Chain A
Amino acid sequence: MEWEVVIGLEIHAQLATKSKIFSGSSTEYGADANTQANIYDLGLPGVLPVFNEEALRMAVKFGLAIDAEIGMKSVFDRKNYFYPDSPKGYQITQLHEPIVGMGHIDIDLGEGKSRRINVTRAHLEEDAGKSVHEGFDGQSGIDLNRCGTPLIEIVSEPELRSSKEASAYFRKMQSIVTYLGICDGDLSQGSMRCDCNVSLRPKGQEEFGTRTEIKNVNSFKNVERAIEVEIERQMDILEDGGSIKQETRLFDADKNETRSMRSKEVENDYRYFPDPDLLPVIIDEEYVEAVRSTLPELPEQKKARFEAEHGLSAYNASVLAANREMADYFEVAAEIAGDYKMAANWVMGDLSAALNKNEISISEIPVSAEQLGAILKNVKGSDISNDGAKEVFSAIWQGKGAGLENPVDQLIDQLGLKQVSDTSAIEEVVAQVLADNPKLVEGYLNTPEDKRAKAIGPFIGATRKAAKGVNPQVVMEVLKQKLSELG
């Protein structure tokens, strides 16, 4: 049978507030265990939550960025469950009246292709703590520093149809939240986590099949892998005439398999009800418009502008626009260079390769956008060759520009990369070369017209030998001119 894959994602993104969603504890990552867990986060008797205005603003900003309905009234609910990393015995979340309603994003499917995916909702909630299982003599240690870090849970419609689309959706969400500055997008630190709902149905059937939920997948690659193995697992069962059990599963990246999380199965009655310690959050149009006015240019808009204003290809535009820092870097460099296409090729080519090789991100790059711009401006002006540009770039990367007042120009000089493009100077050298090599000239003149292009090579080599740093294009033109004058 032919199966259709149905995937919906729930993405948790930690909001980049300074303090927690309902308390004044710091949200900084990596502090000593429980040093950022205060009376509120520990859920001590008598403490009460007070809502962080920045978390609200960020959530609304997100809603506007995905063109969603904004909840003018949103309500916090208690989701009741017992777990040692959930100190109050309930999580404060939003069930029926979330801050962000139906919206949508366009995901990039490569080669400039894209597809619109609807986002059901996004709601505010508090993060839980962490359990540490090693180093406590057979017990678990509970660290509640993360408790109360604000999250938005972004729920997609079940419209994704492949693991590739799922990871493209996840990537796009990361791109959006980092553009907005509401989340650092760091998957390795758990700033963004993803739950994948996966089901299969016979092609053409409207009704959804039974789904499973794969919890807490922590990288783009693993989203693809987890979904692929889960699709395979479900297909095997269905092909054998079996049925899928609705359950929560965990992806084991080492074994490349998903497995059932039995412990979560008993927890299915969350007894949601409106949190009586909190009141409805009411916002008005004025508030929403004020937030809207702070929206930056978003990846989609940036991509369109790169195509229209700078003449980039759809593919280049979408790659560069995907990361806000990369896009900003590109624009600064391109502006200085005066050539957007060349800058795009450089950023996507040599620069990206260097970042990958050194395993660093664009924010840590040792060559500034201004410096790259200056280098490329020299290429554009034919003052250095493209190879020369690579040499300067690499020299600055290695720190050789340190202490120099004007590292790009000074390094070009130091490394002798300056090309001579002055025609009269080159004419002199060429005249000398021709005078010094009568046999070569004779040979050239005896070559039939259609094969002369090839025969010009030795003159170029000789000219460049005689005068280092001459612009090869200018040399070529001068040579052609002089030789044609000879016959």
Chain B
Amino acid sequence: MHNKTLAQISQDLQAGEYSSVEVTKHFLDRIKNLDGQYNSFITVTDELALTQAKAADELRAAGNANEWTGVPMAHKDIFCTDGVRTSCASKMLDKFIAPYDSTVADNFNKVGAVSLGKTNMDEFAMGSSSESSFYGAVKNPWSEEHVPGGSSGGSAAAVAARLAPGITATDTGGSIRQPASFCGVTGIKPTYGRVSRFGMISYASSLDQGGPIARTAEDAAMMLNVMAGFDKKDSTSIERDVPDYRADLNKSVKGMTIGLPKEYFSSDLDPVMAQTIQDAIKEYEKMGATLKEISLPNTNLCVPAYYVIAPSECSANLSRMDGVRFGHRCEDPKDIEDLFKRSRSEGFGDEVQRRIMLGSYALSAGFYDAYYKKAQQVRRLIKNDFVAAFNDVDVIMSPVAPSPAFKFGEKSKDPVSMYLEDIYTLSTNLAGLPGMSIPAGMINDLPVGLQLIGNYFDESRLLNCAHQFQNATDWHTKTPTGLK
């Protein structure tokens, strides 16, 4: 049952092959039996899930079901879920029982989906390896020695380990695409403003965007249909109709122009990775797409611009974690300053503290123009590169990351080397464009993803390209060796 895709489970439930309670129990059992190995969940809401599943079965019996009724899924532990701990993988929020639902969680509740629990991640979504979680690192189901990527490592690992057919995630600089690539699953980061950020704990407000991780493009489309949409509770949400993301899946890619940024395929790129990606792109040529070299001249500025903007925004976003109204509070504070400082230092891990300090520094008097303002100007240059490129091409393709999954501890000691992991994914967040990762090959028995970058609001085209690739290849059906 767990090898079925979300779309298949939805069909089976509609056909009465099994009940929601049965499929929910099946996944809950799998999590219980196998997740000790992966640590991909922080909280499993078994009781709640079974209650939802029962209600779903009753709805179906009454003839009031839709395609989502009773379908199991899970949420990254960054989405607030009313009455359920929402920790962001931080000690700071270890006891934070969210008193409200994020719009994304609410949307899934409304369509009658069943939530199995909350998945592990890098603390406050800051990281590319899911090693910084207060609840311990997530293991890559393909190899115990390797990281699952981050920050949505728990979501990607759990989908890869067949612990849930589809899981929500977020992407601020590659946090959906890079773990999807490392774990051999499919993930899409939509256009900025497409998915409501209300109730999604902010890391960097102008870059954060929610999206799904699933096994196939079709499943991702099905999830995005629930996640996307205008939300009046989020000022940055875009008021624009949401198409049915499954409608275009079967379109031909014939005649489509694919842009290949020369800066992404420079001599710095590992030749094996380059070959793997080129091979994948050849599939599109076979299907009738044409390739075109393009230039994104400011690519080398993405990492520096990102590591000014994201820390600056996060330094303010995380100020509310002060030990006064919720979250961790230190023992016996001697005065208010002591309460703030010790609560925060005890509550936050090193990487979070580093980014807060970096942001405080970049925004501080005398440095604002040199750092923050400069980075925002460079951000426009980066966006302009893409706007120009999309005059000539329909979709851009590239590697997701410089390498397949790296080993635990390999980069966590040196933040800069970790930051450079995001070199191919950051630009889409800075520009606000949609990006996707689909399984496209293997290197040293580890999966490798192909990144698809689309024009604004062109998610349907990305999903279409991904689906066509998945019709022609079987990378997305590969199972981690030894998976039960």
A50–B313 CB distance below 8 A: no
A366 is an interface residue with CB less than 8 A from chain B: no
Chain A residues with CB under 8 Å of B100's CB are: 39, 44, 46
A79 to chain B: closest residue by CB: B316
A142–B324 CB distance below 8 A: yes
Report the bound CA distance from A186 to B322 in whole Å: 33
B363–A271 CB distance below 8 A: yes
By the criterion of a CB under 8 Å from any partner CB, how many residues of chain B are at the interface?
Answer: 44
Q: Which of B4-12, B142-150, B176-184, B201-209 contacts A (4 or more CB under 8 A)?
A: B201-209
Interface SS, B side: loop
B236–A89 CB distance below 8 A: no
A80 to chain B: closest residue by CB: B316
Interface SS, A side: loop
> In the assembled complex, how far is the CB of residue A96 from the closest CB belonging to chain B, in whole angstroms?
11
Are A48 and B198 CB-contacts (below 8 A) given A84-B336, A90-B316? yes
Per-residue CB contact flags for chain B residues 75-101 toward chain A (1 = under 8 Å, else 0) read 000011000001010000100101110
Chain A residues with CB under 8 Å of B316's CB are: 78, 80, 88-90, 271, 273
Q: Chain B residues in contact with chain A, CB under 8 A?
A: 79-80, 86, 88, 93, 96, 98-100, 102, 197-202, 204-206, 232-236, 312-313, 315-316, 318-322, 324-326, 336, 340, 360, 363-365, 368, 372
Q: What are 23 pairs between A and B in contact, CB < 8 Å?
A: A45-B96, A45-B326, A46-B199, A47-B198, A48-B236, A49-B235, A50-B232, A50-B235, A80-B363, A84-B324, A88-B316, A89-B316, A89-B322, A268-B365, A271-B316, A272-B363, A273-B312, A273-B316, A276-B313, A277-B202, A277-B235, A277-B236, A279-B236
Chain A residues with CB under 8 Å of B236's CB are: 48, 276-277, 279
Report the bound CA distance from A39 to B97 in whole Å: 13
* B316, B336, B340, most chain A CB atoms within 10 A: B316
> In the assembled complex, how far is the CB of residue B377 from the closest CB belonging to chain A, in whole angstroms?
13
B325–A90 CB distance below 8 A: no
A279–B368 CB distance below 8 A: no
B319–A89 CB distance below 8 A: yes
Chain A residues with CB under 8 Å of B198's CB are: 46-48
A315 is an interface residue with CB less than 8 A from chain B: no
A379 is an interface residue with CB less than 8 A from chain B: no
> In the assembled complex, how far is the CB of residue B444 from the closest CB belonging to chain A, in whole angstroms?
39
B319–A90 CB distance below 8 A: yes
Are A82 and B319 CB-contacts (below 8 A) given A45-B88, A142-B324? yes
B322–A82 CB distance below 8 A: yes
Chain A residues with CB under 8 Å of B368's CB are: 271-273
8 Å CB contacts to B: which residues of A1-53?
A: 39, 42-51
B364–A48 CB distance below 8 A: no
Chain A residues with CB under 8 Å of B372's CB are: 273
A271–B205 CB distance below 8 A: no
Closest 5 CB pairs of A and B: A89-B319, A271-B363, A276-B205, A276-B206, A43-B320
A269 is an interface residue with CB less than 8 A from chain B: yes
A46–B201 CB distance below 8 A: yes
B324–A44 CB distance below 8 A: no
A87–B324 CB distance below 8 A: yes
Are A88 and B319 CB-contacts (below 8 A) given A45-B80, A48-B198, A269-B364? yes
Report the bound CA distance from A43 to B327 in whole Å: 12
Report the bound CA distance from A276 to B313 in whole Å: 8
Report the bound CA distance from A90 to B197 in whole Å: 19
> In the assembled complex, how far is the CB of residue B266 from the closest CB belonging to chain A, in whole angstroms?
32
A82 to chain B: closest residue by CB: B340
* A142, A144, A271, most chain B CB atoms within 10 A: A271
